[in-house]
């Protein structure tokens, strides 16, 4: 995609489609709409009076060949109520128009966001366009491997040179962030026969070389030396050996403590001996979405040159049933030395995360944040709409909420009470890996809490919000890439925790 910028009048822009982002209106007061109405012999008034287009969220309308404009068509896309406009209004509108036939058949277009001077609106607009038009074509045959959109150049029309510099910087940032989220989607969409633990490690190495950060991969022998009993127990049933991926990005002085990001990387989760129901089991290729978010966050941080030191930890394995698989009732010893009674082999994510959280202490971290498709119980807490967050540091959790406000990746804080901690106690070992159906999301986090050191920690459960069941303006049906924008926004505004 070629991006250009212009301060010329809209009428002079030689593009096939001119896209105007328009808030709700009852009368034509905006200068650009008045000019377009005159050029189209009352075309704007006509679609307004008919109710075809009033600027509401999700509305799109086109006016063909307005007189005096070089553009072949003018496309109006609704933002919603003016008083409620925020970056996500532009993200949604751009996502909606990204699939509009009049635009997808054009090779060139110009986007006009109005006279708004908030550069975050422009960042959000390019994010929404790129995310909304996402298509995974990797596994299509040659006959069907064709992108529906022909658009290859977008010119952003800006009012004045003063705003132009800020807009250019914001849009470049938005492209990098959208690329990061699309990387998460691609990895999460990739079938398990194409993305085994070893192949995920290979991809991590490739990206680390490309964007110049460090990648170390521990094989099964090295994992055994680290005494990661949880990770090894989950991997026992698979013919694919596990990998433990360590990423290091240094964007700041050596004395600055690292922020450690931990992502669950189960490349396929059958449930193990506690086999899942066959319905929708194919979606379990995405049980490595947390690891994908961590990998993409390191890539994005490197591309944005964030002034931070980051460590990314990705425990990766399959969870499969076989004669060698871990059984319900088995007891395993974790890296920390705690023993865990396996109640449910489908509660595997917390086992690999627990070893990884303990390993994170090696880095003397300023903070640790883990992100995982951890619990099926999440569906009954927030559905597909957002992620539960829990942790031991109110300031860190508040920062995640602030990042959520801008990115519109919704989070909701939940408590961990002693009642929940008690659910994870075993009569014959130190802990159980499942406390049953009650408070499943919280109880799983209470289990992880046993492996946290003396540092701020937050847990993000992205189960179900990592998938979109129907399709939304900038989120097509399937893997969402949820969490990438949230973490990048958090890290971009990072200040030392008090």
CATH number for the domain harbouring residue 209: 3.40.630.10
Same domain membership, residue 199 and residue 175: no
- Rounded to the nearest 10 degrees, the angle between the axes of helix 349-360 and helix 440-449 is 30
d(CA 5, CA 8): 9
Q: Is residue 18 part of a domain?
A: yes
Residues acting as catalytic residues: 276, 350
Question: Do 231 and 353 form a contact (C-beta atoms < 8 A)?
Answer: no
Q: Is residue 498 part of a domain?
A: no
Which residue, 118, 147, 181, sits at the end of a domain?
Answer: 181
For residues 375 and 436, state if they share a domain: yes
- In terms of domains, do 228 and 166 share one? no
Neighbours of 56 (CB within 10 A): 15
Residue indicated by tokens 């999700």: 58
- Residue 147 has a pLDDT of 73
pLDDT of 430:
98
Q: Domain range spanning residue 62?
A: 2-181
In sequence order, what are the residues at sequence separation of 6 or more whose Cβ sits closer than 8 angstroms to the Cβ of residue 41?
A: 67
Residues 132, 246 share a domain: no
CA distance 263 to 365: 16
Strand duo 309-319 + 259-263: pairing: parallel
Q: What is the pLDDT of residue 206?
A: 98
Q: How many CB atoms lie within 10 A of CB 349?
A: 28
Same domain, 131 and 232: no
| Pair 197, 233 in one domain | yes
Mean pLDDT, contiguous 10-residue spans, the chain (498 residues): 96 98 95 97 97 97 97 98 97 98 97 94 98 90 77 94 92 98 98 98 98 98 98 98 98 89 98 94 96 98 97 98 98 98 98 98 98 96 97 98 97 98 98 95 98 98 97 96 98 93
pTM: 0.97
Q: Which pLDDT score is estimated for 137?
A: 85
Q: What is the pLDDT of residue 143?
A: 67
């Amino acid at each position: 995609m070629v991006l250009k910028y212009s301060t010329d009048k809209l009428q002079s822009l030689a593009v096939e489609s001119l896209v105007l982002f328009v808030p709700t209106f009852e009368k034509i007061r905006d200068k650009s709409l008045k000019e377009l109405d005159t050029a189209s012999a009352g075309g704007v008034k006509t679609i307004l009076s008919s109710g075809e287009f009033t600027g509401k969220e999700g509305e799109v309308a086109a006016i063909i060949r307005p007189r005096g404009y070089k553009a072949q068509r003018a496309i109006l896309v609704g933002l919603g109520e003016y008083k409620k406009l925020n970056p996500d209004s532009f993200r949604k509108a751009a996502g909606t128009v990204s699939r509009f036939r009049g635009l997808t058949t054009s090779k060139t277009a110009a986007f006009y966001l109005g006279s708004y001077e908030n550069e975050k609106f422009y960042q959000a607009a390019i994010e929404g366009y790129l995310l909304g038009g996402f298509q995974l074509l990797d596994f299509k045959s040659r006959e069907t491997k064709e992108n529906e959109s022909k658009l290859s150049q977008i010119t952003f029309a800006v009012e004045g040179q003063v705003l132009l510099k800020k807009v250019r910087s914001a849009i470049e940032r938005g492209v990098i962030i959208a690329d990061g989220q699309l990387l998460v989607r691609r990895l999460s969409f990739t079938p398990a026969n194409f993305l085994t633990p070893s192949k995920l490690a290979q991809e991590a190495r490739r990206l680390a070389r490309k964007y110049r950060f460090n990648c170390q991969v521990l094989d099964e022998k090295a994992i055994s030396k680290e005494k990661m009993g949880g990770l090894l127990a989950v991997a026992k049933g698979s013919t694919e050996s596990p990998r433990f991926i360590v990423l290091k990005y240094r964007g700041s002085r050596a004395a600055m403590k690292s922020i450690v990001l931990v992502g669950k990387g189960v490349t396929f989760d059958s449930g193990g001996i506690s086999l899942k129901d066959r319905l929708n089991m194919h979606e379990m290729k995405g049980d490595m979405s947390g690891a994908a978010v961590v990998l993409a966050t390191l890539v994005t941080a490197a591309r944005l040159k964030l002034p931070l030191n980051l460590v990314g930890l990705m425990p990766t394995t399959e969870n499969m049933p076989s004669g060698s698989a871990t059984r319900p009732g088995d007891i395993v010893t974790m890296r920390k030395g705690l023993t865990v009674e396996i109640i449910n082999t489908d509660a595997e994510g917390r086992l690999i995360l627990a070893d990884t959280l303990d390993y994170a202490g090696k880095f003397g971290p300023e903070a640790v944040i883990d992100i995982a498709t951890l619990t099926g119980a999440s569906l009954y807490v927030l559905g597909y709409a957002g992620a539960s967050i829990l942790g031991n540091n109110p300031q860190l959790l508040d920062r995640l909420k602030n990042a959520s406000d801008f990115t519109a990746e919704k989070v909701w804080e939940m408590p961990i009470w002693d009642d929940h901690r008690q659910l994870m106690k075993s009569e014959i070992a130190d802990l159980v890996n499942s406390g049953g159906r009650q408070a499943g999301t919280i109880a799983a986090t209470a289990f992880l809490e046993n492996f946290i050191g003396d540092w701020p920690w937050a847990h993000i459960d992205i189960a179900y919000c990592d998938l979109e069941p129907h399709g939304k303006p900038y989120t097509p049906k399937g893997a969402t890439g949820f969490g990438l924008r949230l973490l990048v926004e958090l890290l971009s505004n990072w200040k030392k925790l008090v």
